[in-house]
Structure 1
Amino acid sequence: MIDQSIKFDLDLIKRYDKAGPRYTSYPTALELHEGFGEADYRRHIERSNAAGGPLSLYFHIPFCDTVCFYCACNKIVTKNRAHAEPYLDNLCQEIALQGALFDKNRKVDQLHWGGGTPTFLSYGQMQRLMAVTRAHFNLHDDDSGQYSIEVDPRETNDRTIAQLRELGFNRISLGLQDFDAEVQKAVNRLQSREQTFAVLEAARKEGFRSTNIDLIYGLPLQTAETFARTLEQVLAYAPDRFSIFNYAHMPSRFKTQRQINEADLPSAALKLDILQMVGRKLTEAGYVYIGMDHFAKPDDELAVAQREGKLYRNFQGYSTHSDCDLIGLGITSIGRVGDAYIQNYKELDEYDKAISAGHLPVYKGVELDEDDKLRRTMITQLICHFDLTFSSIEQTFNIVFAEHFAPELENLEIMQTDGLLRMTADGIQVLPAGRLLIRNICMVFDKYLAIKQRQFSRVI
């Protein structure tokens, strides 16, 4: 059985803490370009239909009632709910356009609404969106699909949760970030314990099969002690999963972050103290480290998939369905169909113009070559399962691993000396001290990284 433990080595983390991708894809989204257009996407859909297999759908709902200063998502902040209606019209039209191109026999095994705040939509609007989706894609009717939604507890109540369950959702992720009152004021997200846990309890009552809590460390005014109090309060309700993200302060890229007082941000040393505390408390509570920012109960689907060698990673994070082509719907969403990544337009007016003309709203994309597919397979295996067997790569891609990746293997020698991994003639095994630094290990195999590294957040 796979060892899902981690080891917190402060010296190693300090030495390896540099900017790098999160590898929700390889190549990363930075490699998408405008030379890839609608005709290219249609060609990959045809190939995808010929290959068959299930589908995954991602819907981007960009609206938020208020702005959280730390947010780096593509969002539209408004209190006017009527602003969602024209966007919903276009989104439904895009569903029809895309649905017409995919084989109707292909089941939708996964579906996810993200944002923004998906529950910004009214119940009637959510009903309409799901009905249109069912009309154009082959959704499960027996609750066997993995249909998830991100919710803001400030925008959700018992009735909303019951409605979401009625619409077919069976997995839910709750945004929280931190309960400390001063931290909440500093990031403009005021959210009570009562709001949060009422939604969590309602989800369990309605039969949601998985509950996730999102937290962020590194926010202004946080300390290890205050964040520990937040974590202890959440642990008392024992969600199935935790996503605990490192706040990446990049105000030059994300304007809302300019409203954060940089003097209030915790030091790098303090962030490491918080991270160490988080790892200790969650493992003591019985959660296992999945990778990156994710912890789960041992019987959660993610933990089971990892032990069985079936875990995968896509633009929504860790996933249990590596066999699904991912279709992105709505502004800024990114899909993976066949051997291509595709992103929709990021701005409402461009999205509207394409949809109004009856075109797929393809903004840019990239077609993977054989080297991309080879490196993607390796990076996915490492970041999901913390090991890599050379023979499986050699058989799949007809290479001699030691010859093909001689420079990379040489670069890994120092990581082996530092105790991050173990290399043999058969493969690479990431050790407990290397799991928190898995991004660094994957970066060794990233041929695009050298010229793009400044555009990524730090790994810790």
Structure 2
Amino acid sequence: MKNKNIDFDAYVKYSKPGPRYTSYPTALEFSDKISYEEYVNELKNQSSQTPLSLYFHLPFCRSACYFCGCNVVYTSKSEKMDRYIEYVEREMEILSKIIDTNRVVTQMHFGGGTPTFFDAKQLDTHIKNIKKYFKNFSDDAEISCEIDPRFLTNEQLDVLVGHGFNRISYGVQDFDEKVQKEIHRIQPYEITKNAVDMARAKGINSINMDLIYGLPYQTLESFKKTLELALTLDTDRFAIFNYAHVPWIKKTMRKFDESTIPHPKVKLEILKFTHDFLTSNGYKMIGMDHYAKPDDELFKALEDGSLHRNFQGYTTKGGADLIGIGLTSIGEGIRHYAQNYKDMKPYEDAIDSGKLPYFRAIILNDEDRLRKDVIMSLMSNFYLDIKAVEAKFGIDFFSHFEDALKELKEYDEFLEISKEDIKVTPTGTLLIRNIAMCFDEYMKNISGEKRFSKTV
């Protein structure tokens, strides 16, 4: 397979705005013109044989991390979180009258916000509420929670482990003190180490750590030190994200002096070093941004082509209907994506009226489903089985995607294309967003820089 050394000066030319493809079509295409009745019909038409993946958004944080692009509610009031738990339960009650909640649950994830900003009692109440409606968890269900190491107690871990949580993901971003101060997230190494040790002591055998490159004041040398410290914690997975600087969307990002943000060339040098460092220390690259130990199920799924990508990241639990519950959560079915309200008042008002807090959606047509298959296969497995796509959708791939294949010429040195498949080279994986964009039918109608973060 072709695999050229990266010419950083030349590579920077590929840096342009583009989606991360946690969905296709992307959230930009979601519309509030899809009626509530249409959305409910999509849910009602789901097969009772299809398993469920549940996502719960727990949106509260004490203060802002300036780099964060998540939908967050800042508060120090416990009663606000108690109120939210009550509304989420009411949302599930409404949902239970629309879908078959006895379906097998193969995946559940708590995201935020800071899920562990909720205390142990609140978490216990929330999980018991969930299991009141969703009782049929598979024996091998992946049950995970995002955790800020600054907000974690043994009591919280006891609740999570007691309810079957088997994966946790720690937000770290960077261990450098200057970077932490600038991004408004002071989190010394010792706090993170203590959180990892606590989880290991409770029997959690799958721990992920999130790092971000491209933050203000980061250099190749400073990020090397962060990686060296991270490695001492012996986590099972790493998610190494490219910082998405979107100050036109997130006001907190305007606090950064943009001259302190690393140049794309520096970011690529950091990424290249990160890749070499982690792979030389026993980790394998999994999809975009992710690394795992070779005995991890994500790596095994990549090897056999079963890796799946959704709003929760990479997973082995493909083929499930994703139900998003809580403020701003997104769900996914075979023919739709749908999102809940982003603001608390309309979220609560909808539930008070006896309806799901539905905000907007997109119903996928046949072309959307075809392109979704292509894009998600490339994003997940750096590979596309052309013959399988042709058989599934009844098309001639090369004539149907003639325009896309012309666009791919720009990335020819990073691809191997035959009549049977498309393979992305190891260096091409760094440009997987660019490559996937060639198959995105909506990108031609999107103008202007300020829609997506830069791909490099």
Which residue identity does 1:305 align to in structure 2?
A
1:442 aligns with 2:436: yes
Q: Deviations over 1:376-409 (max 9, x none)?
A: 0111111111121221111100111111111212
Q: How does 1:423-438 map to 2 (within 5 A)?
A: 423-438=417-432
SS state at 1:24 partner:
coil
**Please, which runs of 5 or more residues in structure 1 have no aligned partner?**
none
Which residue identity does 1:302 align to in structure 2?
L
Q: Under a length normalisation based on structure 1, what TM-score does the superposition of the two structures give?
A: 0.95
Q: Structure 1 302/430 Cα, relative in aligned 2: closer, same or farther at 3 Å?
A: same
1:127 aligns with 2:124: yes
Q: How does 1:120-199 map to 2 (within 5 A)?
A: 120-140=117-137, 142=139, 144-199=140-195
1:278 aligns with 2:274: yes
Give yes or no for contact 1:118–1:149 (8 Å, CA) kept in 2. Answer: yes
SS state at 1:33 partner:
coil
Q: Deviations over 1:256-282 (max 9, x none)?
A: 112222232222222222112211111
Instruction: Give the superposition deviation at 1:43.
Output: 0.9
Which residue identity does 2:222 align to in structure 1?
T
Within 1, Cα distance between the matches of 2:6 and 2:93?
Answer: 49
1:19 pairs with 2, 12, 17, which one?
17
1:313 aligns with 2:305: no
Give the equivalent residue in structure 1 for 2:94. Answer: 97
Q: Deviations over 1:191-227 (max 9, x none)?
A: 1111101111221221213100011111111111111
Give yes or no for contact 2:288–2:432 (8 Å, CA) kept in 1. Answer: yes
Within 2, Cα distance between the matches of 1:180 and 1:80?
Answer: 31
Give the equivalent residue in structure 2 for 1:68. Answer: 65
Give the equivalent residue in structure 2 for 1:261. Answer: 257
Q: Under a length normalisation based on structure 2, what TM-score does the superposition of the two structures give?
A: 0.96
Within 1, Cα distance between the matches of 2:223 and 2:393?
Answer: 46
Q: Structure 1 162/13 Cα, relative in aligned 2: closer, same or farther at 3 Å?
A: farther
Give yes or no for contact 2:120–2:155 (8 Å, CA) kept in 1. Answer: no
**Please, which runs of 5 or more residues in structure 2 have no aligned partner?**
none
Within 1, Cα distance between the matches of 2:87 and 2:234?
Answer: 39
1:212 pairs with 205, 208, 219, which one?
208
SS state at 2:427 partner:
helix
Give yes or no for contact 2:123–2:159 (8 Å, CA) kept in 1. Answer: no
Give yes or no for contact 1:291–1:436 (8 Å, CA) kept in 2. Answer: no
Give yes or no for contact 1:186–1:220 (8 Å, CA) kept in 2. Answer: yes
Give yes or no for contact 2:15–2:264 (8 Å, CA) kept in 1. Answer: no
Which residue identity does 2:431 align to in structure 1?
L
Instruction: Give the superposition deviation at 1:7.
Output: 6.1
Within 1, Cα distance between the matches of 2:429 and 2:258?
Answer: 29
Instruction: Give the superposition deviation at 1:11.
Output: 4.4
Which residue identity does 1:372 align to in structure 2?
D
SS state at 2:46 partner:
helix
1:355 pairs with 336, 351, 357, which one?
351
The ranges of structure 1 where at least 4 consecutive aligned residues each deviate by more than 3 angstroms after the TM superposition are 5-9
Instruction: Give the superposition deviation at 1:233.
Output: 0.8
Instruction: Give the superposition deviation at 1:13.
Output: 2.7
1:244 aligns with 2:240: yes
Q: Structure 1 334/6 Cα, relative in aligned 2: closer, same or farther at 3 Å?
A: farther
Instruction: Give the superposition deviation at 1:312.
Output: 0.6
SS state at 1:153 partner:
coil
Give the equivalent residue in structure 1 for 2:55. Answer: 58
2:393 pairs with 376, 393, 397, which one?
397
Give the equivalent residue in structure 2 for 1:292. Answer: 288
Give the equivalent residue in structure 1 for 2:75. Answer: 78
Give yes or no for contact 1:13–1:437 (8 Å, CA) kept in 2. Answer: no
SS state at 1:202 partner:
helix
1:87 aligns with 2:84: yes
Within 1, Cα distance between the matches of 2:118 and 2:216?
Answer: 30
Q: Output the aligned Cα RMSD.
A: 1.7
**Number of paired residues?**
453
Most deviating of 450-459 and 329-338: 450-459
Instruction: Give the superposition deviation at 1:6.
Output: 9.8
Which residue identity does 2:327 align to in structure 1?
I
Within 2, Cα distance between the matches of 1:57 and 1:354?
Answer: 20
Within 1, Cα distance between the matches of 2:22 and 2:444?
Answer: 18
